[in-house]
Structure 1
Amino acid sequence: MSQHLRAGVVGLGMIGGGVAVSLTRRGRVPVVYDIRADTAAAFPGAVASPAEVAAAADVVLDAVVDADQARDVLTGLLTAARPGLIVVLLSTVAVPVVHELAALCAAAGASLLDCGVTPGDKAAENGMVAILGGDADVVARARPVLDDVAKRVVHCGPLGAGMATKIARNVITYGSWTVVHEAVTLARAAGVDPATLVEVIETADPGGATLLSWLRDQLAEHPANREVVPQVVKLLDKDLAAAQELAGTFGVDVPLVSLARAAGPRTLAYPDQEVS
């Protein structure tokens, strides 16, 4: 039965278009719709409306940009939804919007899965991670289609959990970009070529493992790791104090350095541990 699941895609931008390409490569040619008729015409399964996608598909991947577009698409899909239709929301939206859209689906006899995806530029290469939230039985039913799209499918929990995970992941991404910007500004002010900083970081930590190293230690719950927390807090405070002093020398504003120093004990402590 999994081979006969019919797939649909609404929204044929970088992610949606890539998803359609991946599905086609796997032999599951999707029925597709995009508000730009010329874009949709490049795909063999193009139809004229979201309703036609819902009428022809068992699993529809909704790859529009924002919550308003997702609502509009869902309205069209549900006008032709058959019982058992699964809508997979690929758009990153607020978690309450996920529950709102799920309620609309349920009223029409359909099911919703929230599915953050990353990295979007790998969509056409079956190279994304699908970050899912929703009922396990619905995930299982949609899984053959998702496996044709993603290199890995991660079921994070109930409805909304996939979106919450994607949002948290984005916090790390955008937050780290901001931290890097602040660090580069500081290095440049001290006369260091930013390319040199990149070389040092990539040589010392080529896999980027440092970013999640402390979280991994906390999750591992090794007693020895707990014991070093006060020592690491002292090192953090010393090193970030030096960063603040350097910033002061060159008149550079480093609010994230100050925040990281102040939050150091809370950041490094295990969930049930207090560090002064």
Structure 2
Amino acid sequence: MTGAIGEPFQPQDLVITLLGTYVRGFHETVWSGGLVVLLGEFGFSHGAARVALTRLVRRGLIARVRSGRLVHYRITDRADRLLAEGDGRIFTLGTRRSAEGTWTLLWHQIPEDRRLERSRLARRLRFLGFGSMQDSVWVSPHDHSPEVSQLLSDLGVAQYATMFSSRVAGVAGLRSLVGRAWDLSGLAERYDAFCGEFGKYVWRGRPRRLDDFSAFMVRTRAVHLFRGFPVLDPELPEDLAPLSAPRARAAEIFHVLYEGLAAGSRRHFDRVTAAR
């Protein structure tokens, strides 16, 4: 199964989408066999699905729960926090006020023997919309100093980092920086691809009528692909990146499908994951 512009879906990532969309807030646990079947509907073999579930257990994102001879999974506290943060970014994309003018710059010298922390820091900064100018220099067009300070403290690397927050007087000198830190042309293509794939399921602000299986496939794909935009889109001021129109169109389509196809897609999910 591939994404909107050809990248293959990864089974672990798709499991996280399923858990965040259909389990978190609705069920305490979910039957492992049902998850395997659902991943199969997206083209993954039973073996690949079970390997993905095992690796998510090792990563501390899900935990096994036995019920007789059946294995269920529950979302761990760590995964629940990450999903909550992700929802906060996904459902507010396009609503951020970019006129605040405060940028955040982070520079660090985390030692090589702390590679795990370096990797986790990079992932979390991308999640916040930071762009990388160099391996150890990160920039955001928004004031993220509270979140970054907490992140550095949580990872135990605050002593290796320096952070600056400041207002930018003009944009003339920022264009080359922006071009190095973010792939804006690629982002515009992704928004266009998303609208091209999912816009056909929306008519006059409402989702087209679909059977439960089709609703599940369309809604889940839309959620999974839209999840990537907050990581890729720093929501720059419009004079630096004129993306407000494609962003708004993609967000509109996403919200229509997320809400309008919820009932049918949930019925399909619940039928497949009913333990048997």
TM over 0.5: no
Larger radius of gyration: 1
TM range (shorter): under 0.3
Q: TM-score, normalised by structure 1?
A: 0.21
Q: Does 1 or 2 have the higher relative contact order (CA < 8 Å, sep 6+)?
A: 2
